[in-house]
Amino acid sequence: MDRDRIFKDAIYEQISRAARALAHPRRLELVDLLCQGPMTVDSLARKSAMSVGNTSQHLQHLKNAQLVRVQVRGTTRIYRLNDGATCDLFRRLRSYAEQHYSDMQAITQAFLQDRETFEAVDAATLHRRLQEHEVVLLDVRPPEEFAAGHWPGAISMPLEDLSTHMSHLPRNRTIVAYCRGPYCVLALQAVELLRTEGFRAVRLAEGVADWRAQGLPVERDEQTS
């Protein structure tokens, strides 16, 4: 084998490391979750409906490819993305699938076909409507995800607490609910629950990772590291 060929094989082998690590749907889901902020193995396992053992194995693959890193605090291991490029890579893969795979569109349409059509609210419209006090923005993710990053002015109201606290929401304004992004069902469930109780409610499909990618401001709690 000539020297040029050895060089090329070595380079493409290195590039393939990330591709191999991401070539599993569960690992992609873990990356999507970590786009929200750092999480423990237990939290990732619960949110992805996997066992702790399986979650740890998938995280090890991602760690070996330097897509995630781990921080040890006592007996707790906290995982986070190695840098913002990992989330950008996931978003580009998601976008490519949306544009080129008809199956992805069919799966989404089949999932939503028996549900009401949700109003599309883009970031600019949302900002204007918030400034004019036309809407109330709810972040229905778990509190630790809200603390790691959220839309300025959003109210943290996790889905599991929504039934208990929705009586504090105004009925003369539209409620806009968001979660992790276009394929997160938490906001979808929140809108359905709110509409059942007589609120005007819509879903914002974009999430924190999308806003960061657009250069929009994202707030975080100061104590969040």
Tell me which residue has tokens 């709810």.
138
Tell me which residue has tokens 């893969």.
93
pLDDT for res 133: 84
**Same fold? 3-88, 115-213:** no
- Residue 201 tokens, joined: 């409610």
| Reported pTM | 0.90
DSSP 81: E
pLDDT band at 115 (very low <50, low <70, confident <90, very high): low
Task: Pick the catalytic residue from 35, 87, 179, 184.
Answer: 179
| In the chain, domain spans | 3-88, 115-213
CATH class belonging to 3-88 = mainly alpha
pLDDT, averaged across the chain: 92
Residue 124: strand pairing partners: none
DSSP 150: B
Summarised one tens digit per residue, pLDDT across range 153-199 is 999 999 999 999 999 999 999 999 999 998 999 999 999 999 999 99
Q: For residues 65 and 27, give the distance between their C-alpha atoms in angstroms, rounded to a whole number.
A: 12
Residue 179 a catalytic site member: yes
CA distances from 4 to 10, 11, 12, 15, 171 (A): 10, 11, 12, 17, 69
CB 31 within 8 A of CB 90: yes
Summarised one tens digit per residue, pLDDT across range 44-59 is 999 999 999 999 999 9
Amino acid at 104: M
Residue 225, pLDDT > 60, answer no
- Just give the CATH number of 115-213: 3.40.250.10
